Structure formats: C-alpha cells, structure tokens
Structure 1
C-alpha cells in the first residue's frame, strides 16, 4: 500500500484502450458474499509500509470476527478490544485482502455504505497493484490517514511516467511530485479530492457513495459520487463513463501500458507506519498521545468505526 466502514458494492470492469465513448460491457466476474473468499486471498504478511499492524490469517480473521458476512455484505474490520504493549513487536490485528484475478485495463466501480472512519493512527486503503512493484504500478483509489476527510488518489510506478491533466479536466488538486516514479516510486503523483465528504467519517455521515476508476491505455481517471447522486447506468449495471462528468483525478499523457500491468485489487487497514506515523507529530492526534504506536496500542475502543462492508465486486469486459 502507498501513502490509502460499511461499504456497499464495488464493480471492476476490464476496458479497452478507451472507455470514454459509449461502450458496452459484458460481465466477466462477480465478487460478493457468496464467493468472496474464493475470489480474494487473505494475506498474512509483514506490512510493506512498516505499520503497527498484525495481518492475520483467514482462519484467525474469521474466528475473531474481523472477516464475515453481514446479511448480503462482506465485513472487513480490525481488532477494537485488545490493549497492546506499545513497545511490543506485534501490532493491532487487521485484515489484508488481495484478489486472485489480476487485470490489465479496468473500470473499478466501488459502492460503499461505510468505509473506515477518520480515526487517529489509521491508514486504510482500497487500491490496485502489479506484482513487480513499482515497475508494474499502483493505483490508490481510496486512501487517507488519521483525521483526514478528503480522499487522496495516487499513482506509483517506475520513473518516466509524468502525466498531464487529461481532456475535460479534474476537480481534485495535484499533490506531491509530477513524476509518478518519484522517490523510487514511494512518493508517487497524487490528487487530493476537493469534496469534504470523499473520505472517512464525513463520507459515512453523508450516506456513503460510489468510487469509479477507469484505467485504459490513454488515461487513469477516478470519480466520486455521493450515494444520492450515483448515475443510473451504474445502478443498472450498464456503466457509461462518458456521461459521468469531471473526475476527481484525470491522468493522461503517460505510457500507462508500460507502467501499469497485471494489477490485483487490495483492501487493507494498517496503523501508523510510513504515512500515518510519519505525519503524526504534525496532526492534532499528537496532542492526545505523542506516539502513534502507543495511541494505537492503548486505545482499542477508538477503532470501532474502522471497518469496511462490501456488497459486490463485478468485472466486465468491454465489448
């Protein structure tokens, strides 16, 4: 994961070289509560971003209630009851999921009722990544840390991908570097959403919403729709990005096929680490506890709102 609740649905559509003209999509894959764990694998790994987290196994996640179905939705949460040793080597229990299929070009439509809240110490993300990082790229779709309420979209890859803003513009504000390979890929090229309800607690209070990410040879674009303004074509399962208006992020002018390949979908929630921990001292969270790790260890009740809930993930082919 790079520098990335209850949620309702996610749709991923494999696109051709461009989906901006009206395009018909045929359903390829469906991910939902009936088959979630045959489509996603639980990753019991050390956190690549050095967070104060313990990514548990599938068996542990299920026995602890961190990964379960709630009605026809999939719940993905973190431990919010156990007090930990702030100086210990084992962080707070959490779940990291990676899709078994990978994709080349995609339209990712994620409909959330709730995402992890804006809580001190947290760093949740919904993203895509290729196996040979950073050379095969990373697209961070939903990501934020600590008390953020504005989503940040970020691309990470090898050097030489310096996108321009695509035709039609974008509503978000560029952050960080122009080169998505800056800092060996770690810094990336970000766009901060201009919507105050696009992330965390504010997103949830607004009733959730939909994120849509279009990845083609010529562009990578991300839209956010509050729950009360989701396009009808998304609701009907016949998505048409050409009618969605200005996206948050609109990356163009990079050889995306050379920098973004074979990407899997990831859900995770970590704590502190390379982003949330790095900016801890400059956030208001530091007034509660000078140490991010100590706060996460000693305040388990703060993470009752730190969960995802998903209805479905669908993958379509452009026909």
Structure 2
C-alpha cells in the first residue's frame, strides 16, 4: 500500500482505519461521523478522540498537495488517486456544509476469476463463456452501480488475455493493475491550475496510433462513448469497458445516450444501431443488501431492430432465472 504518503497527516484512529485490510471504503463526513465499508456493509465508526474540522481540513489540504493538487475554497472538489490505485475523493467548503467530506476507496486485493467463482460472485459457466468471448476478440461492457464490483470483475477477466498481447488502458482515475507486460496505462485528468485537461476521447484517439491489440476503457462516463463505438466498429475488437447502468440491457441504452451527447445531431436509431454493431455482450453486476457482489445478468447482442426500435439480445444468464442458458 502507499498510505505512508498520507498517514502522517491524520489522527491515529484514522490511520488505523486506513491500514485496516477489512475496510474497502472509508468515508469521513466532516465532523458528523466516520463510516467504513466492511465486507460490503457500511458501519458507523465511533472515534474515541473526535477531531475538529480545522484539523481535518488541514490534513486534506496537505494530502492534496502531496498528490499534486490543491484544495481551496475556489477549487473545493478533488478526485485523485494514490500510487496503488486507491481513489481519493473530496468535497470541501463552502460546498460541504458540515466540514470536508473525504472518501477513500481502498484497493486491498485484486481477485482472480477462480476466487470470484469460489466466493459466489459469478458461476463457473458464466466465467468460462465470457472468457471464451474475450478470447474470440468480442467487445464487451460490464454494467452496475457504484461499488458493485465492475472494476474487480474487469481485472479478473483481463487476466485471461494472453501476455503476448499489447493493451492500451484508459482510465479516470487509473486503477487497473494488469499482468500483461506490453501494456500502457493512461489516465485522463481534469483541468487544474497550470495543467490543461486530457480527456478520455483524446487518449482514445492517441491509442489508435500506438498499435494496440486491445483498447480497455475503464469507465464510460461521457461523450467518449461515441469515440469508443467508432473504434470498435472500425476493426478494434476485444475491447472491454465498464458503465453505470441498472441492467445489462440498460447498459446498451446508456452507452447509446452517452454517444449521442457527443453528436446530438445524429439519429437516435442510428446510434443504437451502431451500439448493437459494436457490443457483443454485456454483464450486469449488483451489490446485495448483505454486501455480496454478484454477476446477475449476461446477455449477448445480436443486432438492432429498426422496426421495433429495440436491441435484439439473448439472455444467456440471469440470477433470477436459473433456466436461462
């Protein structure tokens, strides 16, 4: 871990929480409470020695400087990462009313696909089929909500790609730690004082000039969805990405809508057709009330029906329908 970069700035009890391997997310809500995600369940952590907003603000400002950014009243939002990929997100005053809000998503351990199968996160048959699709250079998308295990699943699936292949990985922020030695990791960054923004779309355009065997897009959040679809539809197979969506089928709609945000003059049906042409399969992950993360759906995409204005998909697996095959 690389918490030694930031540990000195925090009170002793907070340091202990940062080093606790059972905690995946640490959430500090100003002085109103500290919460931690342990095994997918959020717990309220009672501190023996409460801190002041002034001390917390000073600690976060120093952390921001160590990570190459500034947190001020003019720039109160910070999204960055530690060297190991752990995410650091801050909203400070005046936007955060009860003192600065700090959330750290820790990357304690990456799991193999065998470990995910053993834990019940997905079935062996789903894993084997998805790996087969990936090896056939099919394009896929992993959908789910925040904390549903999308990135963890992506990493486990990427481990199956031969080490001889060249990967171009584009993320914001950078998280994935891949096994392939011939991999380049690029990180999109927002504009800050003294630095212009580097967008996912710009990095995607650059990737096409670096002879990738596969392009891996961390999370599709904006109009870069259009550029990704164009890359997939012009011969760049084997792409894998994640997206926030409420089902595997909804992921196709979300991707289409994000692509349309870049080219609003295009016909909606055309963009959905482009999405159906580009994406071969979609997975949906979900975090249950007990904290367990599980693959709930796997669909394959066969095309787009212009007459019915809908995606033509086949349900390969559904956790609510054990007879899906």
TM-score calculated relative to the size of structure 1: 0.26
Q: Which has the larger radius of gyration?
A: 2
Per residue, is there more strand in 1 or in 2?
1
Per residue, is there more helix in 1 or in 2?
2
Structure with the greater relative contact order (CA < 8 A, sep ≥ 6): 1 or 2? 1
TM-score calculated relative to the size of structure 2: 0.26
